Amino acid sequence: MGGTYDYWLILLSIIVAIIASFVALDLVSSLVPSRRRRNKKYWLAGGAIALGTGIWSMHFIGILAFRLPIDVPYDIRFIVLSILVAIIVSGFGLVFGSRESLGMGGLVGGGLLVGIGIVSMNYIGLEALQIEPRIRYQPWLLALSILIALGAAVVSLWCSHRLRMETIFSAFQKKAGSAVIMGMAIFGMHYTGMAAAQFAPDSIGTAHPPWSINPAGLDGPIGAFTLLFLLGTLLISAHDAYRAAISEKRVKESIAELDQASGEVKRLSARLVQIQDDERRALAAELHDIVGQDLSAVNTELALLRSQLPPGAPSDASERLANASALVRRSVNAVRSVMAQLRPPGLEELGLPAALRWHAAAFEARTGIAPAVSANETLPRPPPKVEDALLRIYLEALTNVSKHARAAKVWVTLEARNHEIVMGVADDGRGFDMTRPARRDEKSGWGLMIMYERALSIGAELRVHSTPATETRIEVLVPKDKWS
């Protein structure tokens, strides 16, 4: 028995297939894990229902487009079963398509799973036709329809995964083109299956109440409902994508503002450190050129006066002059100590490795703790700004060791590590709790803050590791491009 086709319904089925494919591509974007959308399980459930209904509607409208010369009732149980299969298969397709990574195995395996589901839905839908004798199928056309379904599923999965990070706004043309290809593949699979169906010349419709329904007049309402449902889903998805794009834009703007503010803080910090260093150098020069020279002159004058005392001078005059000379010498030593703190000696003349050893020896003389210094002598000499910052961080770390650590051993390293030059200062002291915020009236708190600022001023990173009652390790990591 032959039949005819309603070409308007064929056109409607094609339109539904293309729109359903477009909705599928758009829904995948809402399920990508990296987008961290809220309520993803609801998106998956709603998307599976919308997509499954769309695919099923295309096939059902395609079946209704085929007209036999007899009235054929439909079994509602097979119709419901085919809808459920379509929804479940659509859910699997959305899950596979939205995965972060989809290798060849996932693509082929997911495509086969979805393809088999589409084939099952299509032929379960044809089984809804209550007709005797039952429908028979031409084997080669049946096989061809299955191959088309499997190929269409793989292509659809590949397209959806490739465009998963795009939205309706960022890649409308790509998604529309892919939807046309996917829709035509679905169309080809369905109508190849219809061509495979063979109806016996003596076929008659057989109703089986209460499961039988008359399909007459269902094509229009089903098509209209499906199109409205798909378009509504698309609008909701587009609105969600628009809101997400606005939020993402605001986040990027906030990050840019934070980066700009962070850059400004770095520039201000570097400028502050530079001003402090300039003031220290100027003050050290003033102490040397004025105070130091004046004290030396006073000491010379006192020595001259003491040597020129007449024989009959009071007995305590010489002693008082000697005490005054001793006081001046102590003042000179104090001035030199202040000058050393303002402008550490040895750096400009010897370089950083030698300066580390020189100050380690001075630290041992003051505290009795001998730092073990291991410095790579083959490293190129960094810019003066970097050298000065590292030396001051080193001295601040030694000060913290002497005041707070109660350490017996100190280790100092200067080495190249990957793409950085690293200076480390470690001790076996009592350590501190890094989870407790440092109070700014504590010297250790200010010391760490100063070290952080100095590291920041040269584009370096300061890392501090400490645990109570064990050890403390401070590392300054200077990128090699800042070193040379």
Residue 140 has pLDDT above 50, yes or no: yes
The backbone torsions φ and ψ at residue 127, rounded to the nearest 5 degrees and listed phi first, read -70, -15
Q: Which residue has the tokens 């645990």?
A: 467
State residue 34's pLDDT score: 44
State residue 99's pLDDT score: 66
Of residues 361 and 273, more confidence is placed in 361
Q: Could you give the C-alpha distances from 37 to 26, 32, 45, 96, 255, in angstroms and in order?
A: 14, 8, 14, 17, 20
Average pLDDT over residues 92-109: 71
Please check whether residue 155 is in contact with residue 107, taking contact to mean a CB–CB distance below 8 angstroms: no
For the ranges 192-206, 226-240, 286-300, the maximum mean pLDDT occurs at 192-206
Distance CA 384, CA 275 (A): 15
State residue 371's pLDDT score: 93
State residue 344's pLDDT score: 67
In this prediction, residue 478 has a pLDDT band, given cuts at 50, 70 and 90, of: very high
Lowest-confidence segment of 166-180, 219-233, 259-273 by average pLDDT: 166-180
State residue 322's pLDDT score: 80
Residue 348 has pLDDT above 90, yes or no: no
Residue 443 has pLDDT above 60, yes or no: no
**Tokens describing residue 101:** 């990574």
Residue 423 has pLDDT above 90, yes or no: yes
Residue 42 has pLDDT above 50, yes or no: yes
For 447, the 3-state DSSP assignment is: helix
Residue 426 has pLDDT above 90, yes or no: yes
In this prediction, residue 98 has a pLDDT band, given cuts at 50, 70 and 90, of: low
Q: Which residue has the tokens 């409607």?
A: 12
**Percentage of the chain surpassing pLDDT 70?**
81
Per-residue model confidence as pLDDT tens digits over 152-185: 778 776 776 676 666 665 666 777 777 777 777 7
State residue 341's pLDDT score: 65
State residue 477's pLDDT score: 94
CA 51 to chain centre: 31
Q: What is the DSSP letter of 17?
A: H
Provide the CATH topology of domain 346-483: Heat Shock Protein 90 (3.30.565)
Sheet of 410-417: strands edge to edge?
Answer: 372-375, 410-417, 420-427, 471-479, 461-467
Average pLDDT over residues 93-100: 68
Average pLDDT over residues 19-30: 72
Average pLDDT over residues 272-291: 71
Distance CA 95, CA 18 (A): 20
Provide the H-helix boundaries in 128-218: 139-162, 172-196
Residue 316 has pLDDT above 70, yes or no: yes
> Is this prediction's pTM over 0.75?
no
The backbone torsions φ and ψ at residue 311, rounded to the nearest 5 degrees and listed phi first, read -60, -30
Distance CA 457, CA 266 (A): 6
- Mean pLDDT (the chain, rounded): 78
State residue 66's pLDDT score: 79
Residue 38 has pLDDT above 90, yes or no: no
Lowest-confidence segment of 90-104, 350-364, 387-401 by average pLDDT: 90-104
In this prediction, residue 239 has a pLDDT band, given cuts at 50, 70 and 90, of: confident
Question: How much of the chain is in helix, strand and coil states, percent to nearest 5?
Answer: 65, 10, 20
Of residues 254 and 344, more confidence is placed in 254
CA 27 to chain centre: 23
Distance CA 333, CA 90 (A): 86
Residue of 89, 103, 86, 95 whose CA lies nearest to 27: 95
State residue 171's pLDDT score: 63
State residue 170's pLDDT score: 61
State residue 250's pLDDT score: 84
Average pLDDT over residues 134-163: 80
Please check whether residue 16 is in contact with residue 152, taking contact to mean a CB–CB distance below 8 angstroms: no
Q: Give the DSSP H or E segment for 292.
A: none
Average pLDDT over residues 356-372: 90
State residue 339's pLDDT score: 67
Please check whether residue 446 is in contact with residue 440, taking contact to mean a CB–CB distance below 8 angstroms: yes
Average pLDDT over residues 118-135: 81
State residue 273's pLDDT score: 67
The structural domains of the chain, with segments of one domain joined by +, span 4-216, 266-308+318-341, 346-483
Per-residue model confidence as pLDDT tens digits over 204-225: 777 677 777 777 777 678 777 7
